Amino acid sequence: MTTTPTVAFSARLRHAEHVMGTVVSFDVPLSARHDGSLEAAIGWLHWVDRVFSPYRPDSDVSLLAAGEVTADACAPEVAEVLAACARLRFLSQGYFTAFPGGRLDPSGYVKGWATERAASLLSGAGSASHLVNAGGDVQCAGTRAGGEPWRVGIADPFRRGGLALVVAARDCAVATSGIAERGAHILDPHTGRPASGLASLTVVGPSLTLADAYATAAFAMGSAVAREWTASLESYGAFAITSDGETWQTAGFARYAGHGGVLRDAHVAQAGADPRRERRRLRPVRAARIGQVVAHAQGD
């Protein structure tokens, strides 16, 4: 009887694709190249870019925003996304919107949604171990080779290139919104001005679609409102760094830390505790101390 060497199952492929205005990186089994699932995932992301990019004048979203077409003339996924954005707007008390600055732009939903679907194409082809990282927003399946959890690094918003926290993730999504890469670009829809009070807000949970949208909405809320709101989200947890460098986390984030583990050099407070007693100053993680490759979660 012929046996297949186990090395065939541990061979990995890493690929970086420039799409949707960012770099989407894949860490997948080598089989994903041969079964076509990696190519399908990449093709899906480019299709999403053509349909949803607000920077392409011929995209469905741009044409819809300009009033040149109706939603019925767009790809069916446009109506699906807009309906989801409307539900999130209601859930977040208006802090999540598909109309930032008054113009149609569902990018705050689309990136996480598209990336999660790309990861699901890999799962559908049989992969039980992969990570897709879209500009710092991550959907992962299973573990790395050897059973080690995926290391997802949360960018330090005050120290370019540094890490504030490293989440050891399994079968989950990690999404961050903050100022680390693009400065104060997230608007408070209620005032039209840049959101204040937070420097970084990370959400962990099963779906990147929701984790990314929740992170965007919570960042726009500011620290106090975001802390209460994210604590109410079922199956999701949040970790925040405030504008003055203090940190807090919800009980939901602590549960994920318990399952996958968190490597950190920052003291955090539990949601619901007295913030006057529990708040701590951030002490950044040094990448050299981690000793393992991490996927940086810089976020939008």
Q: What is the mean pLDDT of each run of 10 residues along the chain (300 residues)?
A: 45 96 97 97 98 97 97 97 98 97 95 98 97 96 90 91 90 91 82 93 97 97 96 96 95 68 38 34 38 54
Task: Report the Cα–Cα distance between both ends of the chain, in Å, rounded.
Answer: 52
pLDDT at 160: 87
Contact between 239 and 251 under an 8 Å Cβ cutoff? The reply is no
Torsion sign, CA atoms 42, 45, 50, 54: negative
Please state the pTM of the whole predicted model.
0.85
Tokens of 162: 């540094």
Is the domain defined by 29-297 classed in CATH 3.10.520.10? Answer: yes
- The strand pair at 130-134 and 22-29 is best described as antiparallel
Position 38 scores a pLDDT of 98
**Residue 183: what pLDDT?**
67
165 - beta bridge partners?
Answer: 154, 264
| pLDDT of the residue at 184 | 72
DSSP state for residue 270 in the 8-state scheme: B
pLDDT score recorded for residue 297: 59
Distance between CA 36 and CA 234 in Å, rounded? 35
183's CB contacts (< 8 A; 6+ apart) are none
Residue among 220, 86, 243, 217 at smallest CA distance from 158: 243
For residue 229, what pLDDT is reported?
Answer: 97
Instruction: Tell me which residue has tokens 């709101």.
Output: 229
Are residues 154 and 238 in contact, defined by beta-carbon separation less than 8 angstroms? no
Q: How many CB atoms lie within 10 A of CB 287?
A: 16
Query: How far is it, in rounded angstroms, from Cα 68 to Cα 154?
Result: 40
Q: How many CB atoms lie within 10 A of CB 291?
A: 8
* Strands 237-242 and 130-134, sheet pairing: unpaired
Which residue has 């990449």 as its token pair?
Answer: 42
